Every structure is written in structure tokens, then in C-alpha cells.
Amino acid sequence: MKISAVVFIASCTVAVIFCIILLIGNKNMVSAMGGANSVVDEDTFRRQRKRMVEEQIAYRGVKDKKILEAMESVPRHLFIPEENRLYSYYDQPVPIGFGQTISQPYIVAFMTELLQLGDDAVVLEVGTGSGYQAAILARLVKQVYTIEIIEDLGKETRKRLKMLDYNNVEVMIGDGYKGWQEHAPFDAIIVTAAAEHIPQPLIDQMKPGGRMVIPVGGVYVVQDLMLITKDASSKVIKESVIPVRFVPLLRK
Ligand code: SAH
């Protein structure tokens, strides 16, 4: 009886020690993986950002110096959840939670260039997401209004933009299909989710001489990136620019 008690205690002790060893080992493994994340310091991110601008954006033909500068200075990785941060400067969209994605860097720059923004412009964005596109715009224009339909995402992004000192961006939670009448008309409108058709309220909220970029097409298929211009006499011209793939514009 006594011996079996000793054997029992000894085997429990061995089991506990074994578990502790396993736990420590596992923790090291996790930190080695996460470590890949955390060892990427700001300097490395800065170098990756410079390469992103040279190899993905300027190389493909975006020329506007101010846009290239903005893309080089906005810390894209701070708009991406930690678990995906390693992919921040990859040539691809990256998941940001809530089933949504931050657009590929080149597409952000290309769409921004299509808007031909002046310093004084007032811009509407539909589809705030991470706030990255809004942050790029904020460095180029006077005021950015951006609308996000997913409440928790919109609130999180509003906080992030405030923390990063983007004081000329206002985030509204709502259905961007209807635009933001209170601040209309806009010099430029950018829609970063694919619509099945061009929302009439957005066309109505464009200034004469204004521009809008919007992906148009079905859900989860290749869509057309459309450039809409409204001339001085309010005539609307629509042209298809390149094929793109965006998450769908949701409706409330
Ligand atoms: N511009 C974002 C990426 C956009 S992903 C960035 O820089 O990170 C598309 C976003 O549009 C998602 O966050 C999605 O929730 C939002 N969205 C979809 N339909 C919308 C609608 N009707 N109104 C406002 N936002 C919408």
C-alpha cells in the first residue's frame, strides 16, 4: 500500500515535470513563430515600405510624387492585425478581420492617383476597413470623410486613426451606398468595395469637375474599376480602367 502510494506520487511528479517541459517547449515555439513578427522592428518595416513603393508601385507606373511619399511614410503594418503583420508590405490584399481585407498597396496608390487630388480637396471614402486608404488620403487632401458599415470595425478604426493623429479624417458607421449628404458635394469619391451598380446618391454627391473611382461588378468575381467624372456642366462620363477584385459592397 505504502509502496504503491510512493509509486503513484512519483509518477504524478514525473507527469507534472513532463507537462512543464512540454509547456515551456511550446511557449518557446510560439515565441519563435511570433518572434518572427516581433523581431521585425520599425527599421525593417521602413525598408520593406521603401521597396514596396519602388518595386510594386513606382515600377508599375504610379508617378505622383506626393502619393509615392505618402505610401512610403504611412506605417501600413499598424493597420493590420498583429497575426498578419508580417504580410504588411507583400504585393497582395491582407485579411483585417470581420471577413474584410486591406487592399493591395499598388491598388491603393493607383486608385488614389486616378482621383487627381488637390491639396484642398474634400474626399469621401466608402469602405473604411482598416483606415489605411483614409490615412493615405489624409496626407494628401484637406478633409476625408469615410463610411464603414461594420460597426465594430468602424469603431476600432476610428480609434486607430485618432491614436495615429489623423485629425482630418472623420469616420461614420453606416451604409455608404447613400453617401454622406451633410458634407456633400465632394471633390472626389473612392469606393473600396465592389458595387453591382454605381450608386446614384454617390453620383449626386460629386462636385461638377469631381471624380469617383469605384469597382463595379458581381460578388467574388473580377470587377471593373470604373472612373466616373462629372464635368463642369454636370455631365457624367463613365469609363472602365482595369479589372480588379474587391469584397462586396454590403447593404443595410
Ligand atoms: N479601404 C479599406 C479596405 C476596404 S475593404 C482599407 O484601406 O483598409 C471594404 C470595406 O468596405 C470593408 O471594411 C467593408 O465592411 C466595407 N463596406 C462594405 N459595404 C459597405 C457599405 N455599404 N458602406 C460602408 N462600408 C462598406
Q: Is the CB of 127 under 6 A from ligand 1?
A: yes
SS3 216: strand
CATH at residue 150: 3.40.50.150
Angle at 175 between CA 91 and CA 196, to 5 degrees: 65
Q: What is the pLDDT of residue 219?
A: 87
- Whether residue 153 is predicted with pLDDT greater than 70 in this model: the reply is yes
Boundaries of domain holding 178: 92-244
Is residue 224, in this structure, part of any structural domain at all? yes
Q: How far is CA 63 from the centre of its chain?
A: 22
Q: Is the CB of 88 under 6 A from ligand 1?
A: no
Number of domains the chain is built from: 1
> What span, in angstroms and rounded, lies between the C-alpha atoms of 81 and 102?
11
> What span, in angstroms and rounded, lies between the C-alpha atoms of 112 and 44?
26
Q: Is the CB of 146 under 6 A from ligand 1?
A: no
Residue range 23-27: average pLDDT? 43
Is residue 81, in this structure, part of any structural domain at all? no
Q: 87: Cβ–Cβ under 8 A, 6 or more apart, which residues?
A: 80, 94
Q: Is the CB of 195 under 6 A from ligand 1?
A: no
Q: Each residue of 28-57: pLDDT tens digit?
A: 333 333 444 455 899 999 999 999 999 999
Angle at 193 between CA 201 and CA 246, to 5 degrees: 150
The predicted model scores a pTM of 0.87
Q: What is the pLDDT of residue 35?
A: 41
Residue range 122-133: average pLDDT? 98
- Whether residue 220 is predicted with pLDDT greater than 60 in this model: the reply is yes
The phi, psi pair for 92, rounded to 5°, reads -165, 160
Q: Which residue numbers are catalytic?
A: 103
> What span, in angstroms and rounded, lies between the C-alpha atoms of 202 and 212?
9
- The CA 192 to ligand 1 mean position distance, Å, reads 6
Is residue 68, in this structure, part of any structural domain at all? no
Q: What percent of the chain has pLDDT over 70?
A: 85
- The CA 131 to ligand 1 mean position distance, Å, reads 9
- Whether residue 25 is predicted with pLDDT greater than 80 in this model: the reply is no
Q: What is the pLDDT of residue 17?
A: 56
